[in-house]
Amino acid sequence: MNVLWIFAHPEPRSLGGALRDEGLRTLRAQGANVRESDLYAMKWKAVVDADDFGSAAPSDRLIVGSTSKHAFETGELSDDIRAEHEKLDWADTVIVQFPLWWYGMPAILKGWFDRVFVKGFTYGVRRPDGKTSRYGEGALAGKRAMVLLTAGAPEATVGPRGVNGEIDDLLFPLQHGTLWYAGMSVLPPLTICGADRVSPEQYDDAVATLHGRLRTLSTRDPIPFRSQNGGDYDEHLVLRAELAPGRSGNGVHLL
């Protein structure tokens, strides 16, 4: 197993940092090959701009999608982006670890996806039949991903009727709209709540849970998102009326 561990916490001496260290140790002990993208340690550039695209950047109006595709195809993307592509090509499994900030990713991690998931690589690629490879198909199909999250919020508040919204809904743009969009199979997330307030016993529980999840990385069933081109969506990419009839919300996109 080749695991790429993406870590987006500013403080290695945090609960998140301890879980990252524990996770890397555990995977290596299991015999996995492990590489890391520790975004803060790498001083990862978070913001998409013309500098990403080398001489492929136009001198006039910048259209990010088409410019990034051109730069990808001609090898003119900046070195830091190409290094992440090489890691993604190598990996069969990707762990995406971050503290939940404003119910989403820290900017440095959002910027990793904004800059690395360029057109021509993870989106904007057509199949021979003219359909776009997306949601279950694409360059990253066959790879697995899992989100590992630390959150200050108590568990009940990110549960089904908790005031913050349910964790699967909060993660939908990442798990469905980004990872599954690019073709990856997405394992259920592991969320450790009450960060900065965990007791030694709670920490031991979190580590035990993490061990269990890392042992089953290659066997656990992924979230059963519907594939775009499998027949469940019509020609406008709207879910067919006979599936989850009368319902809406993120849940209709699950088999």
Selected from 135, 140, 150, 186, the binder of a copy of itself by CB under 8 A is 135
Based on the shown chain and the rule CB under 8 A, indicate whether residue 63 belongs to the binding site for a copy of itself.
yes
148, 95 Cβ separation under 8 angstroms = yes
| Measured distance CA(221)–CA(214) in Å, rounded | 13
Cα–Cα distances (Å) from 166 to 92, 158, 251, in that order, read 28, 5, 12
Phi–psi pair at 121, nearest 5 degrees: -100, -70
> What does the DSSP 8-state code read for residue 155?
G
Q: Quick one: which segment of 25-33, 62-70, 78-86, 89-97 binds a copy of itself (CB under 8 A)? A: 62-70
Q: Identify the three-state secondary structure at position 247.
A: coil
Q: Which long-range contacts (CB under 8 A, 24 or more apart) does 21-29 make?
A: 22/207, 22/210, 23/95, 23/97, 23/148, 23/210, 23/214, 26/210, 26/211, 26/214, 27/1, 27/3, 27/214
Question: Which of 1, 239 has the CB closer to a copy of itself?
Answer: 239
Q: Quick one: which segment of 25-33, 86-94, 99-107, 186-194 binds a copy of itself (CB under 8 A)? A: 99-107
> What track of x and - describes contact with a copy of itself for positions 218 through 247 (by CB under 8 A)?
----------x----x--xxxx----x---
| Measured distance CA(145)–CA(186) in Å, rounded | 5
Pick out residues in 37-56 that bind a copy of itself (CB under 8 A).
Answer: 40, 46-50
Question: Which of 154, 224 has the CB closer to a copy of itself?
Answer: 154
Based on the shown chain and the rule CB under 8 A, indicate whether residue 105 belongs to the binding site for a copy of itself.
yes
Phi/psi zone of residue 111: left (φ > 0), alpha (ψ -120 to 50 degrees), beta? alpha
Number of shown-chain residues binding a copy of itself (CB under 8 A):
66
| Measured distance CA(22)–CA(252) in Å, rounded | 36
Selected from 102, 129, 130, 201, the binder of a copy of itself by CB under 8 A is 102
> What track of x and - describes contact with a copy of itself for positions 17 through 36 (by CB under 8 A)?
--------------------
- Rg (C-alpha) for the chain, rounded Å, is 19
> What track of x and - describes contact with a copy of itself for positions 153 through 182 (by CB under 8 A)?
-x-xx-xxxxxxxx--xx-xxx-xxx--x-
> Interface with a copy of itself by CB under 8 A: which residues?
10-11, 13-14, 40, 46-50, 60-65, 99, 101-108, 110-111, 113-114, 117, 135, 152, 154, 156-157, 159-166, 169-170, 172-174, 176-178, 181, 196, 228, 233, 236-239, 244, 248-253
